[in-house]
Amino acid sequence: MAASHRLQPMLHHRMEAYDALGIVPPTLRTQWKTNYRRHVLQSLILQQNLANLHDLLAAAGIPYIALKGAFLAFHVYPKPELRPLRDLDLLVPQSRAMDFFCLLLEHGYTRLNSHLGDPQAYLESSHQLPPLRAPAHNSIVEIHTSVFHRSEKRSGVRDPSGDRLFWQRSITRTLAGRSICFPMPEDMLVHLVEHAIYGHQFDNGPLFLSDIAFLLGRHRINWPLFWKLSKDAHCERGAALSIALARYYWPEVTALNDAEGPTVPTAIIRAAAGALLSNGHNRKRDKRLSLARLQTGVFQRSAHAWSRLFPGRNAIALAFPVRTTSPLLPYFYMKRLYRLATRHLIAQRNKATEKYSNEAADRLFTINSWLESNNND
């Protein structure tokens, strides 16, 4: 579970700080220490990669903001290795995204076999372009064109990237001799909430809470501004839930006591705590079950089932290397249906051999019902 949630460096650090490593079995203690050292080296590689990306962007005259993990690891956590990064996320204006994508390909970055969809379809339908792998090592770069995830459910939410004030209030911090651009702490906190709760349904794990705790421990938050930004992003309840969770598990962060917001029922806090530790193997299935249960009425349920089987052209172009105008599109629809059928058969086989509980899906349904009830208040 620690490996799944990238918590090994943090566990090693916390247990060492409290002189409690002696209670950890020697084999596990060695694994944690080895993992910790590996992430020390990885953080150095990522710093250099971010510096190289900054140089490329500056030379091309493309404005950018480094999102989430880069700021947290290098300017919030006590040590960068405590916040392992899966990738580097860079927000650029949508009008320059393809320029940057092609620039990276020219400099040796390569596509991932798992993300060979049409970049133009990503540009039109997703919040980011297909991820790219750096030439000298295995670090991944994701080019974002919006801060928030795009979805029909939250289509009425205006993305911060379209607001010139979001860019104007960004901050710079020195890293590897460069002035790297980051969101200001209030924007960062809103992004963490939207990303974890609305974009990923808690599947980014407990690091979400230490992100908040260390951010508030390092930077003073303008709470009225934060709540205004949360309201603009239609995520006030998600923000309140995030603060409540962080306050419970990181009580030493006194700044959390100043964050007054909507009251969160204890049952929702408990459900969210469980969701943060959900089994990685079943997360997608649990999300699908929860989303299906949120549909009300025959029409909504039918429309949801139809969109699941036959999504729009852009969804196919996101998943496969085919353009939306290609005559081969029907073939890839059939290929997608074959994948769905195969996964269904595997799920049925696993269900027959394993004891399956809907507890995780029930938690997500309970949380999402509470989050969405805000729209009817």
User: For residue range 111-162, what is the model confidence (pLDDT) as tens digits?
Assistant: 999 888 889 888 988 999 999 999 977 789 999 999 998 877 787 899 999 9
Question: Does one domain contain both 128 and 214?
Answer: no
146 and 195 share one domain: no
What angle is formed at CA 69 by the lines to CA 93 and CA 231, rounded to 5 degrees? 65
Asked if the structure places residue 97 within a domain, the reply is yes
Of 183, 201, 219, which one is at a domain's C-terminal end? 183
Higher pLDDT, 10 or 295: 10
pLDDT at 214 over 80: yes
Q: How confident is the model at residue 376 (pLDDT cuts 50, 70, 90)?
A: very low
Identify whether 321 is part of a domain: no
* The pair of three-digit structure tokens given for residue 367, joined into one six-digit string: 């949380």
Judgement on whether residues 119 and 53 belong to the same structural domain of the protein: yes
pLDDT at 328 over 90: no
CATH number at 178 reads 3.30.460
Residue 107 three-state SS: coil
The most confident of the ranges 205-219, 273-287, 316-330, 338-352 is: 205-219
* Domain-embedded: residue 60: yes
Q: Is residue 278 part of a domain?
A: yes
Output the pLDDT for position 257: 85
Q: What DSSP letter does each residue of 228-255 carry, written as one string?
A: HHHHHTT-HHHHHHHHHHHHHH-TT-GG
Inform me whether the pLDDT recorded for 353 exceeds 50.
Answer: no
Tally of structural domains, the chain: 2
Give the mean pLDDT of 49-78.
Answer: 95
φ, ψ of residue 151 to 5 degrees: the values are -160, 155
The answer to the question of residue 54 being in a domain is yes
Domain that holds residue 175: 1-183
Distance from C-alpha of 197 to C-alpha of 182, rounded to nearest angstrom: 21
The verdict on 61 and 178 lying in the same domain is: yes
Task: Name residue 112's beta-bridge partners.
Answer: none
Same domain, 98 and 235: no
Kindly write down the DSSP assignment for every residue of 289-303, as one continuous string.
HHHHHH--HHHHHHH
